[in-house]
Structure 1
């Protein structure tokens, strides 16, 4: 079982406020198959700030240049960061139970991005749960897409809002499936 994670944040450094978390389960062996279970949480930026998470001015400026739909969705969160993290842990627990070996492959778009950001927030908040993956499970899409010569922009579907954590996770999961095909790691559609 594979899970793609995407976060929208108020900075690019670990410890930045997380606005939303999107995650989708998928099987890279399934060409054009449906993606699996999903998780989406929208966090209150005010709650994040009260918890000592940080804001980067250049990221705020970047958000101001994004489409209204994406920006309004990103800043409409009401959950506490703890609620979002507990929900993410529950999602991972459910997905892990669906595997035969208990192993998940956890993807993010960048080695120093979403997974690292989440791990830092789990650490800083010192809550009763920790990041729901172990050190062997994280995977990096940027390396995979480079090797497979995948153009990520080709995998967004009509109606999906760019810079929405769940929509971006779906897009990235579809691109991983395509990369597996391109690299011969999954059967081609006509081989099924």
Structure 2
């Protein structure tokens, strides 16, 4: 499997924005567990539909399925994981999905909860999101769960792979530049 750049953070931290920018800059492929899950739900997958509608955490089995589905999409360049792993239960699933020499680098987009809540409200109010999991109730549940899970996730991730923290409240271009500067040199050439 290609090297993996995992972009982590709470809802509205800018994971999709940064994952897209980083994938473009390093010649990689972006894969969003949220997009994948919403597509499954729209196609009628009942487990995915329930997860999305309730703003529930994605199960380790679902995460493993996601990794199997996206693994074959990457022929060269890093796989940029947009918003995953989501909690500490996913870290061993990611490790098992990689070849023994699989390289992983993590970026934690740090964003205060009140800023994330504000961004989610704005995203809903200006019509930037038509995602079912951005409804007020589902978004609040996702934010609460992912905020609570973040400390355990980062601890579990750091036990296996490097993880840098980047201030996600900065301008998008600044955040992208800081992520690229933090990546191992051979991933940005």
Larger helix proportion of the pair: 2
- The structure, 1 or 2, with the larger RCO (C-alpha pairs under 8 Å, 6+ apart) is 2
TM range (shorter): 0.3 to 0.5
Larger Cα Rg: Structure 1 or Structure 2?
1
TM-score by length of 2: 0.35
* TM-score, normalised by the number of residues in structure 1: 0.35
